[in-house]
Structure 1
């Protein structure tokens, strides 16, 4: 039968945004814990985000990758859309950075390498992520990462195509996005450079409290890479944060291959990593499956319940949204693979 809201018991709020909220839920049939994102349709329609929402769902449904968030179910009622995903209780990289201030090169390299594999998978499927930042890199209970939040991603991107939409998060925007003259998948590698810099030093390379100033810095400020980082770390950051996208590490056809073969990643066996055989250098302290202590208490203190909503004006905008993953229809062997 069809899976719907009644099949899940809400346990805790773990995230909240203008779109709706993310709750930790229990699937009644199996007792398994999931994360459920609910999105108000009226908000989506009003803010012209119908495409974004469909994209997010499509990507999580399509990709079957160890480091990309997987969609298990999606369904809707008159007022809301729901997406049921894996619940990861390890906290995001933003949380871990706030605890540790910065990471060792070993820990940084591990997270970055798993991110590279996830981005490689996206690019091979003609997808550009466009929103890499610490908040969107989640960790599981073992310490492996998972990319999440594909609302800003671009589907069906062709090799020599160009995108023009001004999307992303200020400190992570590539210079070519700011110039608004068209850009390609290289924006993801720029963001990887920013992420690497932030994981190693504790702050992004170009940042001001004033947003316009941050934009100016991204376009023209000198990149200061701390001398105390290893030569390989300094080198990979400099090669990713090249303002000319055609000269950037990962540009053109070589894409992720360029980054995988960089000296900074020499200690990583990427094939073993893909099989999750590389042990994470940091494992979060053991927690119960339904523990939320790695989430912001501003959210987890809220009452976990699904709030009522008004229906949007265009019910047809969300046709084809519902989905059940094959592995959860009782036959794990039938799980579709899209690698």
Structure 2
């Protein structure tokens, strides 16, 4: 494995000044040999800003240097950021510091800053460092978990239910020097440009992570002042300076505000009673003391009006050029609708994307209609009654129904489409919350709650998953929720995937109505039995494999396979549930890259930040099979870092009670190289033909003709005894939501969510 460092910056101690809000910028510089043979340091990657306490990785290369710059948001003189202190260190030097410690131990270092101070950091080395003796067999950061043979035969080391993580880091969008991050504001917040509210869930805003400038998405294109923390040599800074330069500093003084006042920089309310914050004597701009140095030098300038004036100038120039010489690209071509303009900084969101695709579809429609009109005068060959000529003069040909342009697709919420008039289908039945009565709480987590419910007026029972809309919006999980709905809708095609009854919504919640699987999940059963006997574990593994391969055939990576997400029905058959982590449309060379999953089941390629495909599911499948058969996790650690280190480096222990076929099966599933992992290749037969499944007839299994070796104890259709008492004893009710917060939610974000399965689409 190529060596790399995992670095965690803890804090900065600066002696000569006391920063109010310190943060770090990290530059990675490479040693590059020039044409004359001299070495020079070059920065090939952009500067990044790690969060205190979070880890980042850096590969070990000869001559690579890491520069750590400590800055203070409240101490930025002038227009550009001046570093408070900095240190530059070779990555190889950090690696050698790790070699002096035990393998796999994080080393705590205190690097001296210039001109004074220290930065506290933790460093851990993965792999073999450059210059070490690889032939000696020394592998740094290795860890061997506790041997299973030393544990009691029926003991279990599983740590109970483990929540999944989805570390989709907020992607910073660079725009005119600012590093904007999408953000929802829970407190009243004003846009720094148009002075309108951003608060609530009606629309998200953007905030620069360097200078805290806050803005609507629609206002970003009108910002004139560059970020005070942007590098003066950036391409956009040069462009602004070449175009024009405004440098009129504010004259801030302490001021007593008699009423609620908001900062014109970060948009937040300014607190205090007497001489709370600052006000400019010249233009009346208000701001926090900590925001004063971040304020761009635009005293007396109305950014919004000036930006509109500049846009008008550009439009006039463009029109003059077109009227003078015309557009040579249009000579001899038919005109098509122009695409809507895209923001200069590249902040293309879903609404802009939809506008672009609609315009492209409209353009393609016009071309297609023109082609059809031309073809309508050319007779086409007939073949019986199947193909009729398109000529409008043909008496035998019935009139062609006109094409229509649909602005929205009400069935799936996708971009606009063109379709011929079709016969009107049966309207979809819409379910409401009032049609169900909650009986038991089956489970809950950060995602929401799962409740047992009875359909009023019938003896039908369902499991209803309830998600709070404000949480979905705040976590930016709207699309993930739609993905979960679409995948659940496919469940009717596979007997090993949970079936969806319907989805509907209220003003505050989203609801998934699913079949109630009263046999409980595998985590509940393995805690009762410590581990499963081999025939039972083999049967579960076969049914889970069939369900997993069905998802893969649809281009879906599951990414959260674990005992908690495998449910049993009343007959003892397995079904995969909870599709909130899935990724769609993985076909051909498509890959995914999000760090997500449950830590114990995450594959090495996800931990290392590599792109991946279905291989990650077979790693999780291997961990799950290992736990079912042995009752122990294959990897361990005191914290997440140690666990991930164990996953990437530790030798997997196998119990002496396991036969050779089982050990070979588990060992091939837990190969750290994805291409060597059993089941990874497109053909599903190699894993099914492994001797571990020698007693399984998959043709009969997929028809559910094989009886389950264990049938859970179920007293009635609404029995919840196979679920944890920690949940079922709690009241079966929804978590109340603040009324004002509900009113601020933009309900159009959830258009297209409601759905009813064809089997239940009966009035």
Please state which band the TM-score falls in when normalised by the shorter chain. over 0.9
2:751 is equivalent to residue 319 of structure 1: yes
Render the CA deviation track for 1:232-279: whole Å, top value 9, x for unaligned: 11110001000000011112222x322111110110011111111111
Render the CA deviation track for 1:5-33: whole Å, top value 9, x for unaligned: 01111111111112321110011243200
For 1:183, the equivalent position in structure 2 comes to: 612
Q: Is residue 491–residue 500 contact of structure 2 (8 Å, CA) maintained in 1?
A: no
2:459 is equivalent to residue 37 of structure 1: no
Counterpart-to-counterpart distance in 2, 1:32 and 1:244: 47
Counterpart-to-counterpart distance in 1, 2:447 and 2:671: 34
Q: Is residue 141–residue 287 contact of structure 1 (8 Å, CA) maintained in 2?
A: no
Counterpart-to-counterpart distance in 1, 2:714 and 2:587: 43
Root-mean-square deviation (CA, aligned residues, Å) is: 1.3
Match of 1:165 among 575, 588, 594: 594
User: Which structure's residues are more often strand, by fraction?
Assistant: 2
For 2:515, the equivalent position in structure 1 comes to: 86
For 1:299, the equivalent position in structure 2 comes to: 727
Map of 1:76-115 to 2, 5 A cutoff?
A: 76-115=505-544
159 and 258 in structure 1: CA distance in 2 versus 1, 3 angstrom threshold? farther
2:441 is equivalent to residue 13 of structure 1: yes
Q: Which has the larger displacement, 45-54 or 241-250? A: 45-54
For 1:229, the equivalent position in structure 2 comes to: 658
2:696 is equivalent to residue 249 of structure 1: no
Counterpart-to-counterpart distance in 2, 1:130 and 1:257: 22
For 1:192, the equivalent position in structure 2 comes to: 621
1:84 partner SS: strand
For 1:54, the equivalent position in structure 2 comes to: 482
Unaligned runs of 5+ in 2: 1-428
- Tell me which of the two structures has the higher relative contact order, counting C-alpha pairs closer than 8 angstroms and 6 or more residues apart: 1
Render the CA deviation track for 1:139-162: whole Å, top value 9, x for unaligned: 111110110000001011123222
2:596 partner SS: coil
Q: Is residue 615–residue 674 contact of structure 2 (8 Å, CA) maintained in 1?
A: yes
Counterpart-to-counterpart distance in 2, 1:290 and 1:279: 23
Match of 1:279 among 683, 704, 707: 707
Q: Which has the larger displacement, 216-225 or 302-311? A: 302-311
Question: How many residues are treated as equivalent by the alignment?
Answer: 330
Q: Is residue 73–residue 322 contact of structure 1 (8 Å, CA) maintained in 2?
A: yes
For 2:582, the equivalent position in structure 1 comes to: 153
Counterpart-to-counterpart distance in 2, 1:251 and 1:154: 17
1:16 partner SS: strand
Match of 1:210 among 634, 639, 644: 639
1:167 partner SS: strand
1:51 partner SS: helix
Q: Is residue 13–residue 304 contact of structure 1 (8 Å, CA) maintained in 2?
A: yes
2:668 is equivalent to residue 239 of structure 1: yes
Counterpart-to-counterpart distance in 1, 2:655 and 2:607: 26
For 1:26, the equivalent position in structure 2 comes to: 454
For 1:337, the equivalent position in structure 2 comes to: none
1:63 partner SS: helix
Counterpart-to-counterpart distance in 2, 1:247 and 1:144: 30
Counterpart-to-counterpart distance in 1, 2:638 and 2:589: 36
2:428 is equivalent to residue 4 of structure 1: no
Q: TM-score, with normalisation over the residues of structure 2?
A: 0.43
Q: Which has the larger displacement, 223-232 or 165-174? A: 223-232
Q: TM-score, with normalisation over the residues of structure 1?
A: 0.94
For 2:568, the equivalent position in structure 1 comes to: 139
289 and 69 in structure 1: CA distance in 2 versus 1, 3 angstrom threshold? same
User: Which structure's residues are more often helix, by fraction?
Assistant: 1
Q: Is residue 14–residue 22 contact of structure 1 (8 Å, CA) maintained in 2?
A: yes
Counterpart-to-counterpart distance in 2, 1:226 and 1:308: 49
